[in-house]
C-alpha cells in the first residue's frame, strides 16, 4: 500500500490523498459504505459501483465470521470473490460488535469470550485468531483487535483498557508476521488509538500507535455517545500526533457534519452505518438538510427526491412516491433511500476533496455545515 499526500489545506488541517492497493486507488478523504455481512443492505453490487461509486467498502469480521463463516469464505477465495466486489474492502476486527451485540461477553487478557447474537453459541476472539480470520476474509485493509470502551468510561478503566489494547496490538503484529497473504494480494494492517475522552490517554495511545510504524492508523472509541465537541477535541489531539504521511481512519463516524469537521482536523477515512440505517428509517441526508420522508408533508409533493440528482433514484422517483413506499412498508423505499444517502455521502467526501485541491475547503465547509444543519 502506498499513500501519497496530494494537497494540504492552508486554512485547516484537511488533506487530499491517494491510497494505492492491489485492488485499486482510494482517493481520500473517503467514506466507506458498510457492507456488514457481505452486502450493503438493499443495494446491488452494480448499483454500489456505478451509482454510489466508493473506492472501498467495509465488512464486519464479527458478522462474516458467524455467517457465512470462514470456511465458506476460504473456499470462495475470499470476500471479494464471494460477494462479487473487485474494489477495495476494509474489515474491522470484530471487537466493536463483540461489545455491542453479543451477550455475556467476558474480556480477559487472553481475549474475549462471547455468545453469538444469532444462536447463543460460544466463541472466543483473541488478537491472534482475529488476525487469522481477517487473513481468510481477505480484505485489503485489516484492523487490530482492540477494546472499544463505552461512553462515559471511568478513567482507570479507560487507562487499563488502553494498555491492554496496546498489548493486544503487539500480539496482532507478531502473529501477522507468521501469516502470509492468502490470495496473492497484500493486506495492510491498521492499529487503533483508544483512550476514551481523556486527553492524556489519547495522547499516550496515539504516541504508542504512531511508534509501531503501520501503513495507516485508526482512531477508535469515538462516536459512542460523547458530545460532538469532545469527539472533535480527541480527533484533533490524535491527528496531531499520528504520522502525516500515513492515512488516518476515524472509525464509526458519523453525520455529514461530523465528517466535514473531522476532515478539517486531518482525518482521511470514515465509515458509519448512519446513511444506510437511517435510510431504512426514512431519513434522507441532503446538501440542504435532512428529510424525514415519512412525514405527511411529503404526501403530495411530486417533486424529485433530490434535485441535485447525484444518483438515479434522486430524479427517477418523487418524494410523494418514496413517502408512499415507506407508508406501505414496501422495501423499495428502503432501497431508494439507501442509494440516495450513500450517493450523498460519497458526493460529500468527493467534493471535500475537490475543495481541498482547489484551496477553498474551509469556506465551503463552513457553508455546508450551516446548510446541512436543517430539517426540511
In whole angstroms, the minimum distance from the beta carbon of 190 to its own copies comes to 26
Give CA torsion, residues 234, 27, 39, 84, to 10 deg: -150
β 103-107/248-250 pair status: unpaired
Peptide bond into 152 cis (omega under 30): yes
Please indicate if the annotation marks 94 as binding a ligand. yes
Find, among 247, 289, 326, the residue nearest to 20 by Cα.
Answer: 247
Q: Which of 180, 229, 296, 328 binds its own copies (CB under 8 A)?
A: 328
The DSSP code for 51 is: I
Measure the CA–CA gap between 51 and 251, rounded to whole angstroms. 24
| Residues in 149-208 that interact with its own copies by CB under 8 A | none
Taking the C-alpha atoms of residue 94 and residue 59, their distance in angstroms, rounded to an integer, is 10
Cis before 35? omega within 30: no
Nearest-angstrom CA–CA distance, 311 and 321: 16
In the numeric block, which cell numbers belong to residue 36? 456488514
Give the SS3 label for residue 344: helix
Can you tell me which of 10, 75, 211, 367 binds its own copies, judged by CB under 8 A?
A: 75
**Among the options 9, 55, 92, 268, which is catalytic?**
92
**Is 204 part of any known ligand binding site?**
no
Separation CA 357–CA 10 (nearest Å): 11
- What's the grid cell of residue 48? 454500489
Residue 124 near its own copies by CB under 8 A: no
Choice between 8 and 324, CB closer to its own copies = 324
Q: Is 332 in the site for its own copies (CB under 8 A)?
A: yes
Identified catalytic residue from 55, 140, 268, 271: 271
- What is the H or E stretch that residue 20 is in? strand 15-21
DSSP code per residue over 108-169: -SS-EEEE-TTT--EEEE-HHHHHHHHHHHT-SEEE-------SS--HHHHHHHHHHHHHHH
Among 136-144, 288-296, 299-307, 341-349, which window interacts with its own copies (CB under 8 A)?
Answer: 299-307
37 binds its own copies (CB under 8 A): yes
180/328 with CB nearer its own copies: 328
- Binding test (CB under 8 A) with its own copies, winner from 17, 29, 33, 42: 42
- Window 272-291: residues binding its own copies (CB under 8 A): none
Task: Kindly state the smallest distance separating residue 30's Cβ from its own copies, in Å.
Answer: 23
Contact with its own copies (CB under 8 A) among 300, 309, 367, 373: 300
Q: Residues 78 to 107: which contact its own copies by CB under 8 A?
A: 81-84
Grid coordinates belonging to 59 = 465488512
**Smaller CB separation from its own copies, 43 or 143:** 43
271 catalytic residue (yes or no): yes
x-or-dash pattern for its own copies, window 43-62, by CB under 8 A?
xxxx----------------
Order of strands, sheet of 24-28, starting from the edge strand that comes earlier in the sequence: 2-8, 15-21, 24-28
Cβ at position 230, least distance to its own copies in Å:
35
Indicate the residue among 77 and 152 with the shorter CB distance to its own copies: 77
**Closest separation between CB of residue 101 and its own copies, Å?**
14
d(CA 30, CA 223): 17
Q: Which residues pair with 28 in a beta bridge?
A: 17
Residue 323 CB, shortest distance to its own copies, in Å, is: 8
CA distance 354 to 29: 10
Q: How far is the CB of 61 from its own copies (least distance, A)?
A: 14
**Which stretch, 35-43, 160-168, 209-217, 271-279, contacts its own copies (CB under 8 A)?**
35-43
Q: Which residues are annotated as a binding site for substrate?
A: 92-96, 146, 194, 221
Residue ranges that bind its own copies, judged by CB under 8 A: 37-39, 41-46, 63, 67-68, 72, 75-76, 81-84, 299-300, 302, 312-313, 316-318, 320-321, 324-325, 327-328, 330-332, 334-336
Residues serving a catalytic function are 92, 271
Amino acid at each position: 500500500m502506498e499513500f501519497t499526500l496530494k494537497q494540504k489545506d492552508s486554512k485547516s488541517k484537511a488533506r487530499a490523498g491517494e491510497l494505492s492497493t492491489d485492488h485499486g486507488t482510494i482517493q481520500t478523504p473517503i467514506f466507506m459504505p458498510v457492507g456488514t455481512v457481505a452486502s450493503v443492505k438493499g443495494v446491488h453490487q452494480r448499483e454500489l459501483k456505478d451509482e454510489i461509486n466508493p473506492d472501498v467498502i467495509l465488512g464486519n469480521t464479527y458478522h462474516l465470521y458467524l455467517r457465512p463463516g470462514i470456511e465458506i469464505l476460504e473456499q470462495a477465495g475470499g470476500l471479494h470473490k464471494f460477494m462479487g466486489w473487485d474494489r477495495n474492502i476494509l474489515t474491522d476486527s470484530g471487537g466493536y460488535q463483540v461489545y455491542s451485540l453479543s451477550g455475556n461477553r467476558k474480556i480477559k487478557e487472553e481475549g474475549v469470550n462471547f455468545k453469538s447474537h444469532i444462536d447463543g453459541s460460544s466463541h472466543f476472539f483473541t488478537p491472534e485468531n482475529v488476525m487469522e480470520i481477517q487473513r481468510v476474509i481477505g480484505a485489503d485493509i485489516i484492523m487490530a483487535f482492540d477494546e472499544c470502551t463505552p461512553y462515559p468510561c471511568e478513567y482507570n478503566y479507560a487507562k487499563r483498557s488502553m494498555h491492554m489494547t496496546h498489548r493486544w496490538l503487539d500480539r496482532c503484529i507478531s502473529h501477522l508476521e507468521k501469516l502470509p497473504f492468502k490470495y496473492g494480494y497484500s493486506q495492510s494492517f491498521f492499529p487503533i488509538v483508544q483512550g476514551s475522552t481523556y486527553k492524556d490517554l489519547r495522547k499516550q495511545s496515539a504516541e504508542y500507535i504512531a511508534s509501531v510504524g503501520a501503513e495507516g492508523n485508526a482512531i477508535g472509541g469515538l462516536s459512542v455517545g460523547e458530545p460532538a465537541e469532545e469527539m472533535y477535541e480527541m480527533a484533533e489531539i490524535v491527528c496531531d500526533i499520528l504520522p502525516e504521511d500515513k492515512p488516518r481512519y476515524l472509525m464509526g463516524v458519523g453525520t455529514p457534519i461530523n465528517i466535514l469537521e473531522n476532515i478539517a482536523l486531518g482525518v482521511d477515512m470514515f465509515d458509519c452505518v448512519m446513511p444506510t440505517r437511517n435510510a431504512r428509517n426514512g431519513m434522507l441526508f441532503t446538501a440542504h438538510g435532512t428529510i424525514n420522508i415519512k412525514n405527511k408533508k411529503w404526501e403530495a409533493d411530486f417533486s424529485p427526491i433530490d434535485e441535485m440528482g447525484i444518483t438515479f433514484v434522486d430524479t427517477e422517483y418523487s418524494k410523494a412516491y418514496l413517502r408512499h413506499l415507506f407508508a406501505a412498508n414496501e422495501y423499495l423505499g428502503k432501497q431508494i433511500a439507501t442509494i440516495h444517502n450513500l450517493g450523498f455521502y460519497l458526493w460529500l467526501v468527493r467534493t471535500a476533496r475537490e475543495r481541498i485541491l482547489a484551496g477553498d475547503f474551509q469556506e465551503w465547509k463552513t457553508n455546508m455545515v450551516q446548510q446541512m444543519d436543517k430539517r426540511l
